[in-house]
Amino acid sequence: MASIKLKHSARATAARVIAKVLNQQLSLNAVLATSLTQLPEKERSLCQQLCYGVIRWHLQLQAISQHILTKPLKAKDSDITALLLCGLYQLRDMRIPAHAAISETVNASKTLNKQWAKGLINACLRNYQRKQHDIEEKIQQQQSAKYAHPDWLIKRFKQDWPDQWPAIMEANNQQPPMILRTNQQHTPRNNYLDQLKQIGIEAEVISACSEGILLAKPCDVFQLPGFENGDVSVQDGAAQLVADILDIKTGQRILDACAAPGGKTCHILESQPDNDIVALDIDPKRLLSIKQNTDRLKLNATLFSADASDVASWWDGQKFDRILIDAPCSGTGVIRRHPDIKTLRRPEDIVNLAAQQQRLLENLWPLLNTNGLLVYTTCSALKQENEQQMITFLQQHPEAIEHKPETPPAPRRPVGYQRLPGDDILDGFYYACLRYR
């Protein structure tokens, strides 16, 4: 038992995960999912908090570490650099007594088989405690450290949102709330709220969306009443608004072109279970997650793994009444949920993503019936992926007109609607709806 404990402490595992995300450009969700299974259950929550916290504040913690390390550690010791950041995060942002935070972090060097680093970690963390005030003042002078965002992204937010950019970044650095979507085929939202209260889960309805419930504190999905039976799903309220904009009528044929993991496919089917819906995703592994979700919710969709923009590879020639393009995007509206976006994204990605989005729009538009609706959405906060994309499309397609939903899903833009991070409790999201006339 002792050796298991030694190999897998929360702090050592967090250091390994963080080093992989920062140095190998791997997704935090993916690395963490496999690493957590190797940890004893009681250590998992701390490991997860450390990973998310350190990645969220990475640029700030890294700037601090430069003031307490005499020289950067070698690349082969990136786990020790990450462990130091874990120590700093505990001292600054967690309610762990400082002496425990320091001694447990020092001990984790041994778990990482780097006994030599014990003295270094101890000295650096104590150095930080001594010089905390000065160091904290200094890092406020560096923009990327102050806002914990890379310079290129700060520049983009400033260009696009000259008045809102500080609020956007502040919201991006918050911990996200857990939001549920009740299954209208199973149980009315108020009944589900009562069920939550009965088992002591504090929650309230979200007025902006008809099936949304906000939990006071995140919890394990398996604690949620009826989760396995499909009574409820986890989905941010901003994403829940998409099904309303599609305004689906009985019997209409629907295409969900970028569907995995199937949050919106399932929501659409919960409101219209008998409609014919084709759900595509380019990634076959992610397509499996749609199947798992439709199975849990006992819903039926026709699933294909295909590049939606390569129409000849999957289309049967029958047009659609509704098309949803929930496009691959920068994710700059959901950084609070995926803080590794700040580390993994590069400026050139935005250009590539905008080209993919345009290809999807151009190639899927002809598949829409006359009078049909195409809804284009992203979880991006950048204009290039959103309103600029739509403005260009409308200029080049006189047969397309913007359709304005009765209830605007977010603040109005020249075309479509943009919710910025921090506008309210929901994720940053862009919505536009076009009619084929």
- Contacts to ligand SAM by CB under 6 A: 239, 257-264, 280-283, 286, 307-309, 326, 328, 356, 360
Is-catalytic flag, 329? no
Number of neighbours of residue 402 by Cβ within 10 angstroms: 13
CB neighbour list of residue 11: distance below 8 Å, 6 or more residues apart: 46, 47, 50, 83, 86, 104, 105, 107, 108, 111
CA distance 387 to 122: 51
Q: Which residue has the tokens 């499996």?
A: 288
Identity of the residue, 65 or 182, whose beta carbon is nearer to ligand SAM in the bound complex: 182
Q: Measured from the CB of residue 317, what is the shortest distance to ligand SAM in angstroms?
A: 19
User: Annotated catalytic residue: which of 47, 124, 266, 379?
Assistant: 379
**What's the closest the beta carbon of residue 299 comes to ligand SAM, in angstroms?**
13
Residue whose CB is less far from ligand SAM, 13 or 386: 386
3-state secondary structure (DSSP) of residue 277: strand
Q: How far is the CB of 49 from ligand SAM (least distance, A)?
A: 25
Provide the token pair at 65: 């570490």
Helices 284-297 and 263-271 sit at what angle, rounded to 10 degrees?
Answer: 30
- Which C-beta is closer to ligand SAM: that of 68 or that of 308? 308
Report d(CA 152, CA 408) in Å as an integer: 31
Give SS3 for 194. Answer: helix
Smallest gap, in angstroms, from Cβ of residue 231 to ligand SAM?
A: 19
Of 226 and 328, which has the nearer Cβ to ligand SAM?
328
Shortest distance, position 281 Cβ to ligand SAM, whole Å: 5
Residue closer to ligand SAM by CB (options 190, 352) is 352
> What is d(CA 136, CA 89) in angstroms, rounded to the nearest whole number?
13
Q: What number of CA atoms fall less than 13 Å from residue 168's CA on the CB side?
A: 26
What's the token pair of residue 169? Answer: 């970044």
Instruction: Determine the Cα angle at 182 with ends 337 and 211, to 5°.
Output: 85
Distance, CA of 288 to CA of 419 (rounded, Å): 30
Active site residues: 379
